[in-house]
Amino acid sequence: MLVNAYSKKVFNLAYQFAGSYEEAEDLTQDIFFKLHNSIEKYDFEKNFSAWLLTLARNHLIDQYRKTKWEKKSRDEFNEHLLSADSRSGPEESVMIQENKKIVWEGFNQLSSEIRMAIILRDIQGKKYEEIAEIMDLPLGTIKSRVNRGRLQLAKILKEKKEAENGM
Amino acid sequence: MGCERMEELLSPYLEDELTEGERQTVQTHIRTCASCAELLSLMRETKESLSFFPEVDMSESLIGKLYELPQKRKKFRFVTDFLLRPSFQPIMAAVTVLLVFVSFYAFHPERSAINRSIERQFKIGFSKVEKLYAEAESITHTLGEYKDNLFVSIKNLKPFRGNEDEQPNT
């Protein structure tokens, strides 16, 4: 039941964070193993989804600090994302497609905490209050991190566009 | 208002979280500052492209592995529960002490000296046992002699001699 309900959510978080499909598979297994080992500690008065995502977030950031993924390259954007993208509909413009590619590659330049905040807010569409609960941080800190992440990505987008126009 | 302060307000502006006064300030600033206006536009594009990121499907093999995890954990827990139960602790402690001695012996740089010492102690112990065995034999022999003498003495006592002197009437 846990696998059916939450595995895709956890896997996507791991994939968006790590940027590697294989790495995300390993991380998802690790997170579910931790989940089975610590399920007895779950407080039934708390939101289970937020609790699980906190577990996932802690594991992802711990692994990031140990292995320093930013030195590794992310999967090619079109390898997995574009295949899943075929369902997203015709409303997406070519510009959005190009921007997505740049933003995907730009994730590695964000710090782990900012990257996590951006993924939860802008990709997964969570409320700031939920993100504050998952990341165990004050609301103001989360808003500030999301803003800084967007600014960094916007600047990366600007540089790439200028480089392309200059060519 | 400077551009740095303006950057802090761009996300709340995009998400419509500013007060009316702050919103007016941002709008006034971006009308006159091309750099901040461009940044706002790029942030809007970034936010929009992030919202279009699709969910990726997992592989069937990963789903299979995730379903197997509780079984693996059960097996693991059975082994750890068995080894960590209280009644097993004295055995574990004894095994640990034994392993400490074995490793001390196995990795000691002067193992041959230890071997010789053990052999010497063994020989001393063996000769002591031999002596004790010999003493025990001599004690047994002496006790046997005492026992025989005692029986003979008892038999020679008058009350136990019975009617030996009387000749049966035939």
Number of residues that this document lists for chain A: 167
Mean pLDDT lowest among A21-30, A83-92, B91-100: A83-92
CB atoms A28 and B8 under 8 Å: no
* Mean pLDDT over each residue of chain B, to the nearest integer: 86
| pLDDT greater at residue B154 or residue B71 | B154
CA atoms lying within 13 Å on the CB side of residue A151: 21
A105 and chain B: CB distance < 8 Å anywhere?
no
Q: In this predicted structure, what is the pLDDT of residue B170?
A: 46
* Cα A142 from Cα A136, distance rounded (Å): 10
For residues B66 and A28, the answer to whether their CB atoms sit within 8 Å is yes
A167: pLDDT confidence band, cut at 50, 70 and 90? low
CB-based contact (8 Å) between B15 and chain A?
no
* Chain A residues touching residue B10 (CB < 8 angstroms): 147, 150-151
In chain A, the largest separation of any two C-alpha atoms, in whole Å, equals 58
The structural domains of chain B, with segments of one domain joined by +, span 3-51, 84-160
Residue carrying structure tokens 């126009």: A165
| Token code pair at residue B49 | 């492209």
The percent of residues in chain A predicted with pLDDT above 90, rounded, is: 49
A25: contact with B, CB 8 A cutoff: yes
Collect all residues of chain B within an 8 Å Cβ-Cβ radius of residue A21. 56
A79 touches A106 (CB < 8 A): no
Q: How far A26 CA sits from the closest chain B CA (Å)? A: 9
Q: For residue A158, what is the nearest residue in chain B, using CA coordinates?
A: B42
DSSP chain B: --HHHHHHHHHHHHTT-S-HHHHHHHHHHHHH-HHHHHHHHHHHHHHHHHHTPPPPPPPHHHHHHHHHHHHHHHHHHHHHHHHHSGGGHHHHHHHHHHHHHHHHHHH-TTHHHHHHHHHHHHHHHHHHHHHHHHHHHHHHHHHHHHHHHHHHHHHHSHHHHTTSSSPPP-
What is the ipTM, given to two decimal places? 0.85
User: Domains (ranges, CATH) in chain A?
Assistant: 1-72 (1.10.1740.10), 80-167 (1.10.10.10)
Which region among A18-22, A49-53, B87-91 has the lowest average model confidence (pLDDT)?
B87-91
